[in-house]
A = this chain, B = another copy of it.
Amino acid sequence: MSQNRTVGVLGLGSMGMGVALTLVERQFDVRGFDVRQEAVDALVDAGGTSGPSPKRTVQGCPVVIVLVVNAKQVEAVLFGENGAVEGLAPGSVILQSSTIPADFARSCAARLAAHGIEMLDAPVSGGAAGAREGRLSVMGSGPAAAFDAAGPVLEAISGTVHRLGDQHGVGSTVKTVNQLLAGVHIAAAAEAMAFGVRAGVDPKVLYEVISGSAGSSWMWQNRVPHILENDYTPLSAVDIFVKDLGIVLGTGQALSFPLPVTAAAHQQFLAASAAGFGREDDSAVFKVFQKLSGIVIGSKDEDESD
């Protein structure tokens, strides 16, 4: 039984670290890996362990969760030199929770199966805060046996597990659709706030009125406060949406499916990245309009004290 409380975590960014610390708190034996030594040190300080490679870190783990930035990193940590597949025993389970194209999720599952390793296509929603508090929403698809094996880990890290059937790729597709909406809604929130301010409306009043009206969205309510406070400390960065809407548009192209509103939103995140805001909070897509037109948020006194 004690072996079932051992879990590997590959990737210790804001999402992976949040999950790792949650699992430590919930009495799991957490073995984490990241290329950034300071992240590894933080996990070890909190009570986890690590190793010199993904392979050595996850050796003997029955369950490993992967929370890295993109498909290239998934490729490296699983299948690269000293990758996780070299350290895992047949019958172990990979929870692949990074945001990746559905096609890549399917090919990963097939390649892992050749090593006798099961995969859940299990991306998550809920942000860094959800990860740290063990209340992520999991969009999972894959074999029932893998859901069972990963059950204690899923229960520890999530508030909701959506079981989307046994076919790999469904989880990542649903996540892709979620990112389409999330990205468009952030870009629309920035466009609406900038337009309203330019047209002379007090931004705080605009936020309050729209929050109770038909124009509201989860992202409006979550991200506009960052704009109002001029605080672009990254919870999730502009470049994450440059990547994620890129996945959406790439999937659309592969399916010969046009996504005109998404394409416009993607261009706005690219504009923000081009202007040097790529590593700021994704709400900094608003700063494209500030840079263009000099609109100001906050009182003049506040601006002068900056």
Which residue, A126, A189, A214, A248, has most C-beta atoms of chain B within 10 A? A214
Q: Is A192 an interface residue (CB 8 A)?
A: yes
Minimum CB–CB distance for A245 against chain B, Å:
12
B265 and A191: CB pair below 8 A?
no
Q: Beyond A185-B188, A214-B219, is A209–B174 a contact (Cβ under 8 Å)? A: yes
Query: Do most interface residues of chain A lie in helix, strand or loop, or is the interface mixed?
Result: helix
Contact with B along A176-194 (1 / 0, CB 8 A): 1111111011011101101
Residue from B169, B180, B188, B264 within 8 A of A192 (CB atoms): B180
Give A23 to B11 CA distance when docked, in angstroms: 61
Contact of B217 with A216 in the complex, beta carbons under 8 Å = yes
- What's the number of copies of this chain in the assembled complex? 2
Closest to A217 in B: B217
Q: CB-CB contacts of A225-261 with B at 8 A, as 1s and 0s?
A: 0000000000000000000000010011001011111
Q: How far is the CB of A208 from chain B (nearest CB, A)?
A: 8
- Give the size category of A's interface with B: 35 or more
**Which listed residue (B219, B251, B265) contacts A199, Cβ 8 A?**
B251
The smallest C-beta distance from A134 to any residue of chain B, in angstroms, reads 16
Q: Distance in Å from the Cβ of A54 to the closest Cβ of chain B?
A: 29
- A213: Cβ under 8 A from any B Cβ: yes
Assembly CA distance A215 to B201 (angstroms) = 27
Identify which of B174, B192, B205, B260 contacts A191 (C-beta below 8 A). B260
- Asked if A200 CB lies within 8 Å of chain B CBs, one says yes
CB within 8 A of A177: which of B125, B137, B174, B196? B196
Closest 5 CB pairs of A and B: A181-B215, A217-B217, A264-B264, A178-B215, A184-B188
Can you spell out 25 A-B residue pairs with CB atoms less than 8 angstroms apart?
Answer: A127-B214, A137-B209, A137-B213, A173-B201, A174-B196, A174-B206, A177-B192, A177-B201, A178-B210, A178-B214, A180-B191, A181-B189, A181-B215, A182-B214, A184-B188, A188-B261, A188-B262, A195-B257, A195-B259, A198-B255, A213-B218, A215-B218, A215-B219, A217-B217, A217-B218
